[in-house]
Amino acid sequence: MIPLENFLILAGILFATGLYGVLARRSAILILMSVELMLAAVSINFIAFAAYLDGEAFSGLIFALFVITVAAAEVGLALGIVLRLFRERRTSYVDAADTLKW
């Protein structure tokens, strides 16, 4: 069996990559993709723990399913917003949408 650490390391790398993407990228699409990476990392953790800790308990798996559902919904909503943003500003860079500052 693949040791748990490997999954965790993979999830950690994915999460860090995602976080970096969210913080450093300007394009809304890329930020969304990074968010997806972070969610994927979380899902991997859930599944890995569920498999290793107790084969009978499904709560980790169910959580992973929820994450996927939420992620799908979120992307649908977010892409709608990005589309509006692009229509308004002719760009998908998020720093074009800073009217809500002080």
Partner 1 sequence: MEEVWILPAIPFVVFLVLGLLGRFLPRNGDGLAVLGMAAVVVLVGFVLADFQGSFVDDLFHPAAGANTYAFDWINIGDGFFIIEFSTYVDAVTMVMLPVVSFVALMVLVYSIGYMRGEQRYGWYFSALSLFVAAMLLLVVSGNLLQLYLAWEGVGLASYLLIGFYWERQSAAEAAKKAFITTRIGDVGLLIGIILLWRATGTFDIQDIIHAAESGGIGETYLTVAMIFLFAGAAGKSAQFPLHVWLPDAMEGPTPVSALIHAATMVVAGVYLVARMLPVYNEVLIARDIVLYTGLLTAFMAATMGLVATDIKRVLAFSTISQLGFMFVALGVGALTAAMFHLLTHAFFKSLLFLGSGSVIHATEQQEVGHLGGLRKKMPITAITFTIGSLALAGIPIFAGFWSKDEILHDLQKDGPLWAYGVLAATAGLTAIYTTRLVLLTFFGEPKDQHAYDHAHESPPIMTAPLAILATLATVSGLIAFKGVGETLGFVGGIGEFVVAHGEPHIFEIDWVFAGSATATAVAGIVIGFMYWGGDARRSIAARNWAPELHQLFARRYYMDELYQAFINNVVLGAARVVAWFDKRVVNETGVDGGTQLIGFLGHRLKFLQTGRIPNYALGMALGVAALAIVAIGTT
Q: Nearest distance from residue 94's CB to partner 1, in Å?
A: 5
Nearer Cβ to partner 1 (56/98)? 98
Residues 68-97 that bind partner 1 (CB under 8 A): 94-95, 97
Quick check: 101 binds partner 1 (CB under 8 A)?
yes
Contact (CB, 8 A) for 52 and 22: no
The answer to whether residue 29 forms part of the interface with partner 1 (CB under 8 A) is no
Q: Is 26 or 58 the residue whose CB approaches partner 1 more closely?
A: 26
61 near partner 1 (CB under 8 A): no
Closest CA to 15 of 47, 45, 59, 53: 45
- Which contacts (CB < 8 Å, 24+ apart) does range 69-78 have? 70/39, 71/36, 71/39, 74/35, 75/32, 75/36, 78/28, 78/32
Of 43 and 92, CB closest to partner 1: 92
Q: Evaluate whether 52 touches 71 at the Cβ level (below 8 Å).
A: no
What is the contact surface with partner 1 in residues (CB under 8 A)? 19, 22-26, 31, 94-95, 97-102
